[in-house]
Amino acid sequence: MKPLFPRHILTASALALVVGLGHAGAQQVVDPANDDLPPEVSQQAQDAADANQPLGMEANGAPPSQVMPGSFADLAEQVSPAVVNITTTSVVSQPTGGPSFPEGSPFSDLFREFGFPGMPGGPEGMPQQRRPQRSNALGSGFVISADGFIVTNNHVIDGADQIEVEFYSGQRLPATVVGTDPNTDVALLKVESDEAIPFVRFGDSDSARVGDWVLALGNPLGQGFSASSGIVSARNRELSGTYDDYLQTDAAINRGNSGGPLFNLQGEVIGVNTAILSPNGGSIGIGFSMASNVVSQVVAQLQEFGETRRGWLGVMIQDVTPEMAEAMGLDVTGGAMITDVPEGPARDAGLLTGDVITAFAGTEVADTRALVRRVAEAPAGETAQIVVMREGDELTLDVTLGRRETAQGGGTPETPDDEPSESDVLGMSVTVLTPEMATELGAPRDARGLVITGVDPEGPAAEKGLAAGDIITDVNQQTVATLSDLTDRIDEAREAGRRSVLMLIRRGGEPLFVALPLTDEAPAE
């Protein structure tokens, strides 16, 4: 799904910045425990944890039903002991006074000229120091095992120095990070407890239908444990990620609900509340929960390895349109056409440019998105059968999948000795993104890519709206981490007779595809 208001797709977390180190400024109701659960329900939850049984309506003998309930109270009582509030703390540096503007901004020059306190390069005697401030972030999560594994969003705990989990009973425990996956915005935490902890289980998000009732629990706006109900408004929504598979819901989700569970009427988690679409920062009834079938796969890998290990096929693909199928004489209504086969598992297996993949590992391939998800779910190193259409014939090939994280690289790229520090190409100057640059541009420190340092106002880059500070991460659907990567992708496009290259850039954290026309000049180093 393309967001209607891309600047207003908000992560559903609450963030408050505190002046000084001695006070907690994130809004949070002082409520050490929630006493609205009957003692027998709390005891039932503990008994289920001791028996290593998940909470839920089915676990307590209630018949499953998708009919509108007279009340959600029974469901909320059963699953609440497994839902948690999450508070993270980090220390950041902030200027002691004055507004913050990017270096080179006309406002920065204005305040420097008139001696605004705290501005870099200001007159002598003006305060320049930066002192630490404590930032508190609030989010939600849910327990998935009696031994204390907790699922939340990655953005809730990203960069945190300390993580504290508050249970429905009021108990607070420190948590450690087991692993994270920024691609799906999932994080797995662990707490240690002498007693078994009540937990819930994942349900089958693929079985959720538009119109099914759902219940969202979490910590909206730091108000403490809160429930909201609604329906599944849509399925298979896509925001900006490669592996996106969101359930859309009209259950009220606000900042602070991030990482909280979305339950079906059986008390199974079918989604992790992640984002909202809003023009004003509040709920307008359009919320997004990452589907449980995606999250459970990621969580299983994080539990086992502490990281994700996705399968990698190693092809560039595009959807097959009816017009393309007709032009090629193919009797297919879906599939993914291979547009390039670089060095990798697909080439080793004999796949060729122009092949249309119609099935992967026994599952029909509807489009490129379905193929990407199915390959990512397959374990690295696994041998899978792929069915392709080639010149009207159906072929079955065996391919041994690689690992996507290894193929894309997991560390900061090393610049070869003969690699230039900056290059001018297609009307823009680019250089390798460093951790320091990434921090200044609001990107993760481990982000990889090239950053645009300047744009020729009369060149093709300016014509397409590119600007200094944009980060180029992919060209023609291949990762670029060095200047050589960029020139190689451009050369490949020229050799293939293409008139443009497709660039994926990030501007202020938001992804954007730009088709940049090729010119005849060679890159200047």
Report the C-alpha gap between 362 and 365 in whole angstroms: 9
DSSP-derived secondary structure letter, 199? -
Residue 102 lies in a domain: no
Q: Do both 397 and 290 map to the same domain?
A: no
Contacts of 460 (CB under 8 A, 6+ apart): 426, 427, 516, 517, 519
Q: Do both 180 and 302 map to the same domain?
A: yes
Report the C-alpha gap between 404 and 491 in whole angstroms: 24
Report the C-alpha gap between 201 and 204 in whole angstroms: 10
Q: Do both 285 and 360 map to the same domain?
A: no
Can you give the pLDDT at residue 13?
57
**CA proximity to 433, closest of 485, 501, 476, 477:** 485
Q: Do both 196 and 274 map to the same domain?
A: yes
Phi, psi of 473 (to 5 degrees): -110, -30
Residue 185 lies in a domain: yes
Name the 3-class secondary structure at 153: strand
**CA proximity to 175, closest of 226, 140, 227:** 140
Report the C-alpha gap between 226 and 35 in whole angstroms: 13
Better-scored residue on pLDDT, 524 or 81: 81
Residue 65 lies in a domain: no
Average pLDDT of span 42-65: 70
- Whole-Å CA distances, 506 to 12, 159, 240, 472, 509: 21, 20, 11, 7, 5
Can you give the pLDDT at residue 22?
29
**CATH number of the domain within which 507 lies:** 2.30.42.10
Q: Do both 164 and 256 map to the same domain?
A: yes
Can you give the pLDDT at residue 57?
64
Better-scored residue on pLDDT, 163 or 39: 163
DSSP-derived secondary structure letter, 523? P
Length of the chain: 525
Residue 257 known to bind ligand: yes
- Among residues 308, 323, 345, which one ends one of the domains? 308
223, with CB counted inside 10 A (0-12, 13-18, 19+), is middle
pLDDT at 25 over 60: no
- Among residues 275, 308, 341, which one ends one of the domains? 308
Residue 368 lies in a domain: yes
Token digits of residue 65: 């039903």
314, with CB counted inside 10 A (0-12, 13-18, 19+), is buried
Better-scored residue on pLDDT, 198 or 117: 198
Residue 256 known to bind ligand: yes
Q: Catalytic: which of 155, 181, 244, 245?
A: 155
Can you give the pLDDT at residue 249?
95
Please compute Rg for the chain using Cα positions.
25
Which has the minimum average pLDDT: 147-151, 231-235, 255-259, 270-274? 255-259
Average pLDDT of span 500-524: 72
- pLDDT tens by residue, 54-113: 887 654 554 455 567 788 999 999 999 999 999 998 766 554 444 444 444 444 444 444
Residue 227 lies in a domain: yes
Q: Do both 391 and 502 map to the same domain?
A: no
**Structural domain of 271:** 73-91+133-308
pLDDT at 347 over 70: yes
238, with CB counted inside 10 A (0-12, 13-18, 19+), is middle
Q: Do both 187 and 217 map to the same domain?
A: yes
Give the CA count within 13 Å in the CB-facing half-sphere of 243.
23
Q: Are strands 246-249 and 311-312 parallel, antiparallel or unpaired?
A: unpaired
23 is catalytic: no
Q: What percent of the chain has pLDDT over 90?
A: 31
Token digits of residue 295: 């999250």
- pLDDT tens by residue, 284-293: 889 999 999 9
DSSP 98-109: S----TT-HHHH
Q: Do both 471 and 511 map to the same domain?
A: yes
Better-scored residue on pLDDT, 353 or 141: 141
169 is catalytic: no
Better-scored residue on pLDDT, 111 or 483: 483
Q: Do both 153 and 278 map to the same domain?
A: yes
Q: What percent of the chain has pLDDT over 70?
A: 78
- Whole-Å CA distances, 497 to 279, 339, 491, 494: 43, 13, 10, 5
Residue 213 lies in a domain: yes
The angle at the Cα of 33, spanning 27 to 39, to the nearest 5 degrees, equals: 150
What does the mean pLDDT of the chain come to? Answer: 79
Query: Which amino acid, residue 331?
Result: D
- Among residues 291, 308, 325, which one ends one of the domains? 308
Q: How many domains does the chain have?
A: 3
pLDDT at 4 over 90: no
- CB of 62 closer than 8 Å to CB of 74: yes
Report the C-alpha gap between 458 and 104 in whole angstroms: 21
Residue 43 lies in a domain: no
Report the C-alpha gap between 112 and 97 in whole angstroms: 13
Can you give the pLDDT at residue 507?
82
Report the C-alpha gap between 217 and 78 in whole angstroms: 12
Name the 3-class secondary structure at 58: helix
Can you give the pLDDT at residue 148?
94
Can you give the pLDDT at residue 133?
66
Q: Catalytic: which of 42, 108, 140, 185?
A: 185
pLDDT bin (cut points 50, 70, 90) of residue 124 is very low
Can you give the pLDDT at residue 353?
84
Report the C-alpha gap between 216 and 249 in whole angstroms: 9
The torsion of the CA quartet 17, 23, 26, 30, rounded to 10 degrees, works out to: 180
| Residues paired with 277 in a beta bridge | 9
Q: Do both 284 and 300 map to the same domain?
A: yes
Residue 335 known to bind ligand: no
- pLDDT tens by residue, 365-414: 888 888 988 898 888 888 999 999 888 888 999 999 998 877 765 433 44
pLDDT at 23 over 60: no
Q: Do both 319 and 345 map to the same domain?
A: yes
- CB of 388 closer than 8 Å to CB of 487: no
Better-scored residue on pLDDT, 483 or 278: 483
Name the 3-class secondary structure at 342: coil
Which has the minimum average pLDDT: 18-32, 44-58, 473-487? 18-32
Residue 77 lies in a domain: yes
**CATH number of the domain within which 288 lies:** 2.40.10.120
pLDDT at 233 over 80: yes
- CB of 404 closer than 8 Å to CB of 346: no
185 is catalytic: yes
Average pLDDT of span 273-292: 87
Better-scored residue on pLDDT, 146 or 373: 146
Q: Catalytic: which of 258, 278, 292, 423?
A: 258
Q: How far is CA 483 from the centre of its chain?
A: 27
Residue 154 known to bind ligand: no
Average pLDDT of span 439-461: 82
Residue 185 known to bind ligand: yes
Helix (H) or strand (E) holding 229: strand 226-237
- CB of 167 closer than 8 Å to CB of 80: no
Report the C-alpha gap between 66 and 291 in whole angstroms: 19
- pLDDT tens by residue, 202-230: 999 999 999 999 999 999 988 888 999 99
**CA proximity to 473, closest of 525, 436, 510, 519:** 510
The torsion of the CA quartet 111, 116, 120, 121, rounded to 10 degrees, works out to: 80
Can you give the pLDDT at residue 222?
81
Q: Do both 437 and 386 map to the same domain?
A: no
